[in-house]
Amino acid sequence: MSEKVFVESWLDVLREACEGGRPGEGTAFLDSTKPDGSGNHGLFATLDALTAEQASHPTALGTSVAAHAAHVAFHLEVMVRWAGGDRGPFDWKGSFEPRAVDAARWQATRDRVRAAYQAVVDLARKTEAWDEDAAGGLAASLAHVAYHLGAIRQAVKLVP
């Protein structure tokens, strides 16, 4: 298998985690999106369905959806920075801020998640020589987004 096929396969699963399923097509791990586009349970649709107040709600799980979203964006941004040679230090604890957002900050957080995701996709597609850092970074991005998507979907069930 070529590196390109392997990378595109990983990116397809990352796309599903973030963008959701393609309408009417099967999925790798999420519920299928219906032909009319409804039932999309990817990260972006999950975040977009929440108001700032809902995203800020401190659930019994201990972390608000807004905090998860900020952290996901940060993790993806760090992956791109790492690939560019930046070895930190990185403020992982601070990456869960803000925990509470107003409408403008919630929109900015969701935009940041989308931009960070796109930066990872762009980086993966332009990478010509895959070493352990690059391959591990892509794998970590997929695992990390999938983990936080699950955590966010559980937290959403606890939001009034």
**pLDDT (tens digit per residue) in 15-42:** 999 999 888 888 888 888 888 878 888 9
What does the alpha-carbon distance between residue 146 and residue 66 come to, in Å, rounded to a whole number?
A: 16
Does residue 120 contact residue 141 with C-beta atoms inside 8 Å?
Answer: yes
pLDDT for the residue 28: 86
Number of domains into which the chain is organized: 1
pTM (whole model) above 0.85: yes
Picking from 93, 95, 63, 61, the residue whose alpha carbon sits closest to that of residue 76 is: 95
Domain extent, residue 144, equals: 3-157
62: domain CATH number is: 1.20.120
